[in-house]
Amino acid sequence: MSDPQPSMFDGSVLSDVRDPYPMFAAMRQAQRVPSVDVQGLTFHLLLRYDDVAAAFKMPDVFSSKIMRQVMGPVMGRTILEMDGREHTMHRGLLSHAFRPQAIERCRTTIVEPLVDDLVGRIRRNGKRADLVAQLTTTYPLIVIAKLAGVPIDDYAQFQRWSLAIIGYRNTHPEPGLAASRALKEYLAPVVAQRRAEPKEDLISDLVQAEVDGHRLSDDEIFAFLLLLLPAGAETTFRLLGNVLYALLRHPEALDLVRSDRSHLHWALEETLRWEPPLLGTARMTTRAVTVGDTEIPADARVSIMMGPANRDEAHYPDADRFDIHRHADDHLSFGLGKHFCLGYHLARLEVTSAVNAVLDHLPNLRLDAQEECWIQGVSFRSPNKLPVVFDG
């Protein structure tokens, strides 16, 4: 195979890529650990299921400290970049707020009323809609903002900041840095207010939290929020779009889920495997390590590619096919090990509540045959739009 195209990995340039998976499959077949240049830096790519899973489970060798370079400039020092005890201590400050029982409480207080309201508006507006513009884009953002305790007047502005932060590129840093500054300015008075008068929300948890006997500084709190708000909004909105897209494109699966909602669990798992919203993450080696026949040197940058690993034929036969009967819940889309996604339960609750509301309130929902839509992106993937029609 010819050398992979380095520019393929620059999501900001090629975000309209429809299907990067054949390219990843060809790379995986040609070489166990291919390396690519991304913006002048060499990355070693892990594309096989077993290699990705093993790397996640060896945080001492595949360190997260590289996240300092990847997201640090816009987010500050977050748990994403921490290793060892420091990571455990800081992650522990939030883990109780994201545990299943705590998240389950938001079902009736935040998630279901909100999604019923949004889907109700879609229904009242007529018999056609774009579910991306009218549902998926704003809904997870509103949920995480409410959980955090951040009042939002202008959701579009907030969405633009989140996009710019999570899409940060060091070759084109200014939009991300500007969004990070603006969001911090926006959050500063809210944090000050919660310090004076704590409430029942995440910011109040953070202002009262202590690590080794010290309260968190404002910068530490901003770092948590600058990770949580975009992470909570961006990935979940994309996943919800991908689940709806997968079901609408596979009417037999949609019918099954519509008639028996217990299949929704597997539709969600299969979408996470087949089209995860986030394709990869990064690590840095702390020492030389051998993967198969390839030695990766110490201090090397490694791309851990969950999306391609989820399509590894050696692990999932007929991996490119969306099949809710596969019942595979061992995909790698939320990561694995110490940094396993903190928002896992929340994301699942949000997506299942939204799909249930859409199926309950929009009868005979189907794609609008008059308009085309597709999933696009390389770093992040989601549908460009979801034009649908339904019966009144």
Residues within the interface to ligand HEM (CB under 6 A) = 64, 79-80, 91, 144, 227-228, 231-232, 235-236, 239, 276-278, 281, 333-335, 339, 341-343, 346-347
Q: Looking at beta carbons only, is 61 or 347 nearer to ligand HEM? A: 347
Q: Looking at beta carbons only, is 79 or 296 nearer to ligand HEM? A: 79
Contacts of 146 (CB under 8 A, 6+ apart): 110, 114
Sign of the dihedral through C-alpha 51, 52, 53, 58: positive
Kindly state the smallest distance separating residue 274's Cβ from ligand HEM, in Å.
13
Q: Looking at beta carbons only, is 53 or 228 nearer to ligand HEM? A: 228
Contacts of 287 (CB under 8 A, 6+ apart): 61, 298
Q: Looking at beta carbons only, is 56 or 390 nearer to ligand HEM? A: 56
Q: Looking at beta carbons only, is 228 or 378 nearer to ligand HEM? A: 228
Q: Looking at beta carbons only, is 135 or 368 nearer to ligand HEM? A: 135
Kindly state the smallest distance separating residue 109's Cβ from ligand HEM, in Å.
16
Kindly state the smallest distance separating residue 347's Cβ from ligand HEM, in Å.
4
The two structure tokens encoding residue 220: 């530490």
Q: Looking at beta carbons only, is 281 or 352 nearer to ligand HEM? A: 281
Q: Looking at beta carbons only, is 35 or 310 nearer to ligand HEM? A: 310
Contacts of 134 (CB under 8 A, 6+ apart): 118, 121, 122, 125
Q: Looking at beta carbons only, is 35 or 303 nearer to ligand HEM? A: 303
Exposed/middle/buried for residue 356 (C-beta within 10 Å: 0-12, 13-18, 19+): middle
What is the rounded distance in angstroms from the CA atom of residue 216 to the CA atom of residue 211?
7
- The residue written with tokens 């919203």 in the block is 277
Q: Are residues 312 and 319 in contact, defined by beta-carbon separation less than 8 angstroms?
A: yes
Kindly state the smallest distance separating residue 351's Cβ from ligand HEM, in Å.
7
Distances (CA, A) of 16 to 10, 138, 267, 378: 11, 21, 25, 8
Q: Looking at beta carbons only, is 302 or 390 nearer to ligand HEM? A: 302
Kindly state the smallest distance separating residue 140's Cβ from ligand HEM, in Å.
7
Kindly state the smallest distance separating residue 144's Cβ from ligand HEM, in Å.
5
What is the rounded distance in angstroms from the CA atom of residue 344 to the CA atom of residue 98?
8
Kindly state the smallest distance separating residue 239's Cβ from ligand HEM, in Å.
4
Q: Looking at beta carbons only, is 267 or 368 nearer to ligand HEM? A: 267
DSSP H or E segment with residue 20: none
Kindly state the smallest distance separating residue 3's Cβ from ligand HEM, in Å.
27
Minimal CB distance residue for ligand HEM? 343
- The residue written with tokens 């650990």 in the block is 33
Kindly state the smallest distance separating residue 337's Cβ from ligand HEM, in Å.
8
What is the rounded distance in angstroms from the CA atom of residue 119 to the CA atom of residue 104?
21
377: left (phi over 0), alpha (psi -120 to 50) or beta: left
Kindly state the smallest distance separating residue 225's Cβ from ligand HEM, in Å.
11
Helices (H), the chain: 21-30, 49-56, 67-70, 72-75, 84-95, 100-106, 112-124, 131, 139-148, 155-166, 174-196, 202-208, 218-249, 251-259, 264-274, 306-310, 344-361
Q: What is the dihedral of CA 298, 304, 310, 315, to 10 degrees?
A: 10
Strand partners, 344: none
How many C-alpha atoms does 70 have within 13 Å on its Cβ side?
23
Kindly state the smallest distance separating residue 288's Cβ from ligand HEM, in Å.
21
